């Protein structure tokens, strides 16, 4: 498949578990590739800053989630009958799918105080991950990685 990478090089750092995030992006890219099927297609990966996004917690506190990562494919879109439940475990629209990929994505992102959402129609499916900026006092041994 064709891969287009559009990374904002000026983004501030975020603070994540790199192994878990490797799993997140593998799951999303694998889904995009599987949706495209034999005929292939194009996947775009974008990173950018959007200061408008906040996560509001039930206790009333909130965190800004300005770092955005989007994975966009031009495949057929989420099957309509499961579109509202794709982040639930064991929900799959594929013959041999276990339906665990997106449930794990959702769990990892929420463990990092982030947010994941999807917008989908035939020809365009966009998964967006929104993350907080690393705290300025993050201990040096957990040095933040650049979100690029």
Ligand X SMILES: Nc1ncnc2c1ncn2[C@@H]1O[C@H](COP(=O)(O)OP(=O)(O)OP(=O)(O)O)[C@@H](O)[C@H]1O
User: Which residue in the set 20, 23, 63, 92 belongs to the binding site for ligand X (CB under 6 A)?
Assistant: 92
Helices (H), the chain: 18-36, 101-111
Least distance from Mg ion to the Cβ atom of residue 24, Å: 11
- Binds 24: which of Mg ion, ligand X, none (CB < 5-8 Å by kind): none
Specify whether the backbone of 49 is left (phi greater than 0), alpha (psi in -120 to 50) or beta. Answer: beta
**What is the Cα–Cα distance from 54 to 34, expressed in whole angstroms?**
32
Asked if 64 is part of the footprint of ligand X (rule: CB under 6 A), the reply reads: no
Name the segment binding ligand X (CB under 6 A); options: 9-17, 56-64, 73-81, 107-115. 73-81
Asked if 79 is part of the footprint of ligand X (rule: CB under 6 A), the reply reads: yes
Burial call 60-78: b when 16+ CB within 10 Å, e when fewer: eeebebbbbbbbbbbbbbb
The binding site for Mg ion (CB under 5 A) comprises 31, 101
The binding site for ligand X (CB under 6 A) comprises 27, 31-32, 35, 73, 75, 77-79, 86, 91-94, 97-103, 125
């Amino acid at each position: 498949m064709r891969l287009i990478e559009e990374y904002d090089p000026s983004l501030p750092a975020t603070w994540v578990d790199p192994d878990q995030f490797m799993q997140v992006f593998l799951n999303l890219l694998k889904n995009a590739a599987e949706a495209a099927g034999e005929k292939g297609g194009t996947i775009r990966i974008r990173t950018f800053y959007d200061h408008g996004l906040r996560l509001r917690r039930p206790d009333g506190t909130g965190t800004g989630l300005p770092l955005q990562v989007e994975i966009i494919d031009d495949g057929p879109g989420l099957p309509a009958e499961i579109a509202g439940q794709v982040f639930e475990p064991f929900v799959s629209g594929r013959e041999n799918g276990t339906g665990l990929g997106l449930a794990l994505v959702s769990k990892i992102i929420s463990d990092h105080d982030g947010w994941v959402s999807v917008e989908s129609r035939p020809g365009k499916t966009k998964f967006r991950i929104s993350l907080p900026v690393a705290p300025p006092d993050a201990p040096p041994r957990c040095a933040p990685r650049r979100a690029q």
